[in-house]
Structure 1
Amino acid sequence: MHPLIALLTLLTVLLLMVLMGLVGRARGRYGVKAPATTGPEGFERTFRVQMNTQESALMFLPALWTAAAFSLTWLAAVFGAIWLLARVWYAVAYIDPAKSRAAPFVLSLLALLALVGQGLWGLGWSLALG
Structure 2
Amino acid sequence: MLQQLPALVTLLTVLLMAGTAFAVGHARVKYGIKAPATSGHPAFERAFRVQMNTLEAAVMFLPLLWLAAHYGLGGWAGIAGLVWVAGRTWYAAAYLREASKREGGFTLGALAWIAVLVLAVIGAGRALLAA
TM-score range, shorter chain: over 0.9
TM normalised by structure 1 equals 0.94
Alignment of 1:51-130 (within 5 A): 51-97=52-98, 100-130=101-131
Q: Tell me by how many angstroms 1:44 deviates.
A: 0.3
Name 2:16's counterpart in structure 1: 15
Question: Secondary structure of the residue that 1:93 maps to in structure 2?
Answer: helix
Superposition TM-score, scaled by structure 2 size: 0.94
Q: CA deviation at 1:72?
A: 2.1
Q: What is the alpha-carbon root mean square deviation over aligned residues? A: 1.2
Query: Conserved in 1, the CA contact under 8 Å of 2:6 and 2:78?
Result: yes
Which SS does the other structure have where 1:51 is aligned?
Answer: helix
1:49 is matched with which residue? 50
2:38 equivalent to 1:37: yes
User: What is the total number of aligned residue pairs between the two structures?
Assistant: 129
Identity of aligned residues (%): 48
Point out the structure with the larger helix share: 2
Please list every run of at least 4 consecutive aligned residues from structure 1 whose deviation after the TM superposition is greater than 2 angstroms.
none
Where in structure 1 are there 5+ consecutive unaligned residues?
none
- Checking the alignment, whether the CA contact within 8 Å between 1:71 and 1:119 is kept in structure 2 is no
